């Protein structure tokens, strides 16, 4: 598998919903346990090369302890890693994975129509730069 930090979230930086979720995670992950990257950056593509096509098809990708989580499994695993009430969302696992993933796929398919597409890809504030594997590429820094 490609070199990357543990607890890496690869997301679509053009998606308003995805970017809002990353902003939310940055605010609530005060311990800084998550790292982030664009699905489309050089580093994101490098990580994706080590995955099967099934693991990277139209989904958020979450890598933790050498395991790959996608779709609803990734979303639930990420959100329940946050402190406080977030842990209670593990209750979503009572729904069968095919049902959860079906809902995830519907939202993923229509995310641009429902939530919009950004004019420019998401770019984090400087204070969060070390948590983005592709910060220099995003900011155009060499």
Whether the Cβ atoms of residue 43 and residue 133 lie closer than 8 Å to each other: yes
| CA 39 to the chain's CA centroid | 9
Distance (Å, whole) CA 108 – CA 11: 11
Please report the pLDDT score of residue 141 as a whole number: 46
Q: Does residue 32 carry a pLDDT above 60?
A: yes
pTM of the model: 0.88
Q: For the chain, what are the domain ranges?
A: 8-136
Q: Is the pLDDT of residue 126 over 90?
A: no
Q: Is 27 exposed, middle or buried (0-12, 13-18, 19+ CB in 10 A)?
A: exposed
Looking at every residue in the chain, the average pLDDT score rounds to 86
Give phi and psi for 86, each to the nearest 5.
-55, -35
pLDDT, mean of residues 85-94: 81
For residue 124, give both structure tokens. Answer: 């984090």
Rounded Cα–Cα distance for residues 74 and 32 (Å): 18
């Amino acid at each position: 598998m490609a070199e990357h930090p543990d607890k890496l979230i690869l997301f679509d930086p053009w998606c308003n919903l995805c970017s809002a979720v990353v902003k939310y995670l940055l605010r609530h992950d005060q311990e800084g346990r998550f790292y982030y990257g664009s699905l489309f950056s050089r580093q994101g593509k490098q990580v994706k090369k080590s995955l099967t096509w099934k693991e990277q098809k139209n989904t958020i990708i979450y890598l933790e302890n050498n395991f790959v989580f996608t779709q609803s499994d990734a979303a639930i695993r990420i959100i329940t890693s946050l402190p406080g009430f977030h842990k209670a969302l593990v209750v979503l696992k009572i729904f069968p994975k095919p049902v959860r993933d079906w809902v995830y796929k519907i939202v993923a398919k229509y995310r641009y129509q429902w939530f919009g597409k950004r004019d420019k890809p998401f770019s984090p504030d400087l204070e969060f730069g070390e948590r983005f594997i592709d910060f220099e590429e995003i900011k155009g820094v060499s």
